Amino acid sequence: MSSSFELVAVISDAGTVVTWAPAAERLWGFSAAEALGLPADRLVTVGGEPGRPGPLNAARGWSGPVDIRQADGRGRNVDFRVTPFFVGEAGHDWLVWEAAPAGRLPPSGLDTAALETLFQHAPMGAALWGLDLRCTWYNEAITGMEFIPGGPRVGRRLTELLASGRGQSLEAAMRRILERGTASVDLLWMPPGPDGSPEPSLSLSLFRVDDADGRALGLCLIVEDIRESWSRQRLGLLVEAGTRIGTTLDVMVTAQELADTAVPTLADFVTVDLADSITPDQEPLERVSSNEAGHAAFYRGGMASIHSGVPEAIWPRGMPVFVPPSSPYTEVWATGTSHFEPVMDTSPGTWRDDDPSRAAVLQQFGMHSLMIIPLQARGNVLGIVTFFRSENPAPFSRADLFFAEGLAARASLSLDNARRYSRERTAALALQRDLLPHILRSGDAVEVASRYLPADKHGGVGGDWFDVIPMSHDRVALVVGDVVGHGINAAATMGRLRMVLNTLTNLELPPDQVLARLDELVVGLARDRPEEELTSPSVGATCIYVVYDPATRSCTMASAGHPPPAIVAPDGSVEFVALPSGAPIGIGLGDFRSAEMHVEEGSVIALYTDGLVETREADIDQGLDRLRTALARPAATLDDLCTTVIDTMLPEGGSADDTALLLARTLPLPR
């Protein structure tokens, strides 16, 4: 054997022999028929151990002495070099074994002759290209793969062998690899199908071939047939998209999820632009001035790129996106029909002349293939999603267009659901804020402070309310309630109950009778609903009703299924009042009982809804313990105590349910 390495075997990512060269037969004594499929760790040892970590786990390359296990049971020491080699779909790591007599280890690096030997009889197509991007060698497998009509030609460039546009984009990728030395793996390539449109069938992998000193010798191109795996991959991604897109009722989050799902599997750069009709927190676009790029047509909802930081983006998320009137963006928005441009026309006289900013980005990043898909649901166009390819030299195919439209359809339904929810939530919030008291008039008996926090975007607006109602003889009624359900109906029900309670309070009834009358009214309202609405959730609410009399320092209370009130004594101790808890309002049982207790001057009466003390992670008993601790903390003012309680109980500033808190500090008797 000469002093240079000889190629002996290729090991698959599963750790088995897939190529067995004549040199391997001489070293081991196994024929190719005997060796193919053998586990590699049965062939070599390193330091007396099976061939790990060197020969079998050489993700970054490995070289050193090994003992080989020959067919006749004897061993032999040789110098080994293992080179990782990436072929086809991402994740397929192949190891190339080369051997030389022990002590004659030359510098590492596969040479061109070794690559030719490796792929002469390989099942995948292979070709070598020089620094001038002209073909220097190819194997038989590549000629029948429909990659290049008739197969490659030695001395010819891809621009001479492929249709206009396709050869240029692939050569641009080859130049980048020669400059950077970074391989491009699993690039999807679509030869023309029977009807002339591209069909996904081939995967291309490109890597640079260097000499022993690290100087580039040329490029190696590997081509694999992936028709079956491509179909499985697309089907899997569509299934995955069902779980990745629409995880929240936030249109901006949904837009970003769509962009993240499409990169890098489908495209190198994706933007999702939304109509202002589904971005209620943004300024209407007709109020945004036009600029040299055209008129403001969308808001940027999401974007993703194979490049860190998304340098291709002209507009960041949340900002208006400008388009010229003559662009395909405007056409897709107006017609609801996709724009498909597998090979982008960059010649003068196109819409890009009116959009210099986009044209500069397209040229800078070598974008060569484009799809613009409308986001539409229930007859409404909600925005557009744009797909680009730059690093991937393969143009988009009709199959890609069909797949992209499937992704857009899934995202559109999620966006429309989020839009409808946002509209209802905004209307419910406006109604609720209008129905809640704007000014609390507590008279001379108590000092009051309150907080109301609507539910987070997942829970929806509920029907929590609070009220302070002055009564005769300096008495005051304190009320906190919680209507069952969420949305506009809950807010409207809350408004009706609050007005009824104000009326009942003026009748000077005891708290238990107030709740009983309120229960009768709600049951009557439910009975009077139209028959077609009887399947909707029943009207109901919990409520705590407290009357404080400063003359006797007494509190008379009644509860309709509500969490217990807390009394904070002047010394800071906290007691939860054990009230007889009647059924919620609307059940029709009417079993309410009042309880009376003495309250010292300077005490704080704390009423609240269950959103303050109940969470998905903890039950109400744990919540009451936390509330006791929060109420016991010293505070300069009653308003400061409100803030302390909310910050302690809801540190993230929100809850899955509405939260209402009412604090009332008893004052000295007036003269």
For residues 303 and 270, what is the distance between their CA atoms, to the nearest angstrom? 5
| 541: CB partners within 8 A, 6+ apart | 463, 481, 482, 483, 484, 493, 494, 497, 522, 560, 584, 585, 586
β-pairing verdict for 566-568 and 476-483? unpaired
Peptide bond into 53 cis (omega under 30): yes
Strands (E), 40-157: 44-46, 49-50, 62-69, 75-86, 93-101, 125-130, 135-138
The SS3 assignment for 314 reads coil
The reply to whether the predicted model has a pTM over 0.75 is no
Using pLDDT thresholds of 50, 70 and 90, give the confidence band for residue 669: confident
Parallel, antiparallel, or unpaired: how do β-strands 566-568 and 604-608 relate? antiparallel
**Domains of the chain with CATH codes:** 1-108 (3.30.450.20), 229-424 (3.30.450.40), 436-666 (3.60.40.10)
Q: Which residues of 306-339 are buried (b: 16+ CB within 10 A; e: fewer)?
A: beeebebbebebeebbbbbeebbbbbbbeeeebb
Distance CA 12, CA 124 (A): 13
How high is the pLDDT of residue 448? 93
Using alpha carbons only, give the angle 245, 251, 257 rounded to the nearest 5 degrees: 30
Radius of gyration (C-alpha) of the chain in whole angstroms? 37
Q: Is 438 exposed, middle or buried (0-12, 13-18, 19+ CB in 10 A)?
A: exposed
61: confidence class by pLDDT, cuts 50, 70, 90? low
Mean pLDDT confidence for 279-299: 68
| Edge-to-edge strand list for the sheet holding 93-101 | 17-20, 6-11, 93-101, 75-86, 62-69, 44-46, 49-50
∠ CA 588-591-594, nearest 5°, is 135
pLDDT in tens, 304-346: 999 999 999 999 998 989 998 889 999 999 899 999 999 888 7
pLDDT at residue 426, as a whole number: 65
pLDDT of residue 2: 36
Q: Which two tokens stand for residue 437?
A: 């008291």
Counting every residue written for the chain, the total comes to: 671
DSSP states along 568-617: E-TTS-EEE----EEPPBTSS------EEEE--TT-EEEEE-GGGT--SS
Q: What is the pLDDT of residue 236?
A: 64
Q: Return the bridge partners of 452, or none.
A: 660
Predicted local confidence at residue 104, as pLDDT:
37
* Beta carbons within 10 angstroms of residue 164's beta carbon: 8
Would the pLDDT of 14 be above 50?
A: yes
pLDDT of residue 528: 61
pLDDT of residue 296: 80
pLDDT band at 535 (very low <50, low <70, confident <90, very high): very low
- Quote the Cα angle for 471-609-535, to 5°: 105
Query: What is the H or E stretch that residue 297 is in?
Result: strand 295-305
User: Could you report the per-residue pLDDT of 347-405, keeping only the tens digit for each?
Assistant: 888 888 888 889 999 999 999 999 999 999 888 889 999 999 998 888 888 878 888 99
Alpha-carbon span 316 to 303, nearest angstrom: 8
Cα 375 to chain centroid, rounded: 18
**Whole-number pLDDT of residue 485:** 72
Whether the pLDDT of residue 511 is over 80: the answer is: yes
Contact (CB, 8 A) for 157 and 174: no
Query: Closest Cα partner for 43 from 58, 25, 59, 61?
Result: 25
Per-residue exposure over 496-518, b if at least 16 CB sit within 10 Å of its own CB, e if not: ebbebbeebbeeeebbbbbbbbb
Model pLDDT, residue 108: 38
Q: What is the DSSP string of 157-222?
A: BHHHHS-TTHHHHHHHHHHHHHHH---EEEEEE--B-TTSSB---EEEEEEEEE-TTS-EEEEEEE
Q: For residue 318, what is the DSSP state?
A: T
Task: Find the Cα–Cα–Cα–Cα dihedral 510, 513, 518, 523, rounded to 10°.
Answer: 170
Q: What whole-number distance in Å separates Cα of residue 272 and Cα of residue 97? A: 47
Give 427-453 pLDDT, tens digit per residue: 666 666 666 676 777 778 899 999 888
Quickly list DSSP for 343-396. Answer: S---STTSGGGG-HHHHHHHHHTT--EEEEEEEEETTEEEEEEEEEESSS-SPP
b/e burial code for range 9-44 (CB count within 10 A of at least 16 → b): bbbbeeeebbbbbebbbebbbbeeeebeebebbebb
What SS3 class is residue 486? Answer: coil
Please give the mean pLDDT across all residues of the chain.
Answer: 80
- Determine which helix (DSSP H) or strand (DSSP E) holds 262, and give its type and residue range: helix 251-262
One-letter amino acid of 235: L
> What is the rounded distance in angstroms from the CA atom of residue 10 to the CA atom of residue 17?
6
Interhelix angle for 251-262 vs 398-435, to 10°? 160
pLDDT at 260 > cutoff 90: yes
Q: What distances in angstroms separate CA 476 from CA 468, 470, 545, 671, one per listed residue?
A: 7, 5, 11, 17
Q: What is the arithmetic mean of pLDDT over 192-213?
A: 68
Residue partners of 156: CB distance under 8 A and separation at least 6: 134, 135
Question: Which candidate, 491, 481, 616, places its Cα nearest to that of 562?
Answer: 481
